[in-house]
Amino acid sequence: MKIAFLTPEYPHQNTGSSGGIGTSIKNLADALSQLGHKVHIMAYAQAEDKVFEHENISIHQIKNQKFKGLSWWLTRKKIEKYINELHANNQIDIVEAPDWTGISSFIQPQKCPIVIKLHGSDTYFCKLENRPLKIRNYRHERRALAKADGHLSVSQFTADKTNAFFKLDFDFSIIPNGIDTEYFKPKEIKQTSAKKILYLGTLIRKKGVLDLPHIFNRVIDEEPEAELILIGSDAHDIQTGEPSTWKLMQGLFSEAALRQTTYKGKVPYHEVQDYIHEADVCVFPSYAEALPVSWLEAMAMQKAVVASNIGWGSEVIEDGISGVLAYPSNHKKFAQSIIRILNDKQMKTNLEINARKRILDRFDSKLIAKKSIDYYKYIIDENKK
């Protein structure tokens, strides 16, 4: 099969910076390619129009059209024409697009079906975070969903919330994000006395990082030698206007906790494994996600995880079995969960083993790729009727 992914981001040096959507698409694209399918990445908002090959995947850079007041429409029509050409030349069979800002809202190919996959739209995150919503994005995202030939979601929580937020009633098929379990796998651990706690992700309010200092303050009170390592890009804080969330965080740590905290900033993707490997506990106190890849990476590397118990959380982690779930603002419970793992070797070992097993059973990228192919085939057949 020949699959195209329309995306605002993709993790390659030629296509610019990338976040969670790009990483999840790359994981799926790599798995599909390894199974013998042809994958095309159609990355829009690029500096130039260009096509190149990378690891058996065709990457199409698409430059947005520029015309005051009509750029959004002209860009969509440019993409529509491109999809029609690729489909007519038998280069693609189907297109998968994300829900973010509704890029496919006015893209209606002649014969090539378009599947929307929920990774979390702008509307979704605005509603979850109780912040102002751009009506233009809402309208594009809703129209894109209404016009799509198929509907996927990375989690049931995201599907249910999306239907509620847009006042829709689509029957979303759930195919979660996947992870390469051969790339992210456990390594032999050298026994040390260190008690390292790792946070992996952008420093942004919605990921609960302003709760993390309060949580770590409680940990330090009982475990003064514990260390907190933070990895990820700093971000502007929408609520306060502060350009650095890290600066906001620093003022929330106790003196003792701040001394034991290290912010590494954004590190190269290939180095992430090293930090996960060295961690004793990985923490994710997020308030707004769809289905985070960073959780899967830590669990695949057989790490004990303490994470948010909101919605998607229980779809990834079985509380007390493959990780521990707690509400981010419940600082006491979150901290006590971390402390218990640091001190209870048997509990820690059980969580680690079960975390890896959970990923192998449900989130291995090849398993996700096979489910995706079955769904694409179904939509293509339906589109022919």
Residues 87-98: what's their mean pLDDT?
97
Q: Across the chain, what does the average pLDDT equal?
A: 95
Amino acid 351: pLDDT: 98
Residues 85-93: what's their mean pLDDT?
97
Over 80: is that where the pLDDT of 164 sits? yes
> Residue 324: which of 339, 346, 344, 308 has the closest Cα?
308
Report in angstroms the alpha-carbon separations of 28 from 22, 82, 98, 370. Answer: 10, 22, 13, 10
Indicate the burial class of 309 (C-beta count within 10 angstroms; 0-12, 13-18, 19 or more).
middle
Which pLDDT tens digit goes with each residue over 272-325?
A: 999 999 999 999 999 999 999 999 999 999 999 999 999 999 999 999 999 999
One fold for 2-178+365-384 and 196-362 = yes
d(CA 338, CA 66): 51
| Pairing of the two strands 114-118 and 94-98 | parallel
Helix segments in the chain, DSSP class H: 20-34, 71-88, 122-129, 135-147, 156-166, 212-222, 245-250, 255-259, 269-278, 293-300, 313-316, 331-343, 345-362, 365-384
Class of the domain covering 196-362? alpha beta
Amino acid 144: pLDDT: 98
Amino acid 189: pLDDT: 67
- Residue extents of the structural domains in the chain: 2-178+365-384, 196-362
Phi, psi dihedrals of residue 136, rounded to the nearest 5°: -60, -45
Q: Token pair of 203, please?
A: 């420093």
Looking at CATH, the fold of the domain delimited by 2-178+365-384 is given as Rossmann fold (3.40.50)
Which pLDDT band, with edges at 50, 70 and 90, does 33 fall under?
A: very high
Amino acid 191: pLDDT: 62
Amino acid 17: pLDDT: 83
Amino acid 76: pLDDT: 96
Residues 63-82: what's their mean pLDDT?
94
Starting at the edge strand found earlier in the chain, the sheet holding 57-63 runs 50-54, 57-63, 38-46, 2-7, 94-98, 114-118, 150-153, 173-174
Which pLDDT tens digit goes with each residue over 174-213?
A: 999 999 999 999 987 666 667 999 999 999 999 999 999 9
Give the DSSP letter of residue 282.
Answer: E
Amino acid 294: pLDDT: 95
Residues 360-370: what's their mean pLDDT?
98
Residues 268-272: what's their mean pLDDT?
85
Which pLDDT tens digit goes with each residue over 229-258?
A: 999 999 999 889 999 999 999 999 999 999
Which pLDDT tens digit goes with each residue over 132-162?
A: 999 999 999 999 999 999 999 999 999 999 9
Check: CB of residue 202 under 8 Å from CB of residue 235: yes
d(CA 101, CA 324): 33
Q: In this prediction, what percent of the chain has a pLDDT beyond 70?
A: 99
Check: CB of residue 170 under 8 Å from CB of residue 146: no
Check: CB of residue 353 under 8 Å from CB of residue 332: no
Q: Token pair of 357, please?
A: 């097993």
Q: Per 3-state DSSP, what percentage of the chain is helix, strand, and coil (rounded to 5)?
A: 45, 20, 35
Over 80: is that where the pLDDT of 228 sits? yes
Over 90: is that where the pLDDT of 68 sits? no
Amino acid 18: pLDDT: 85
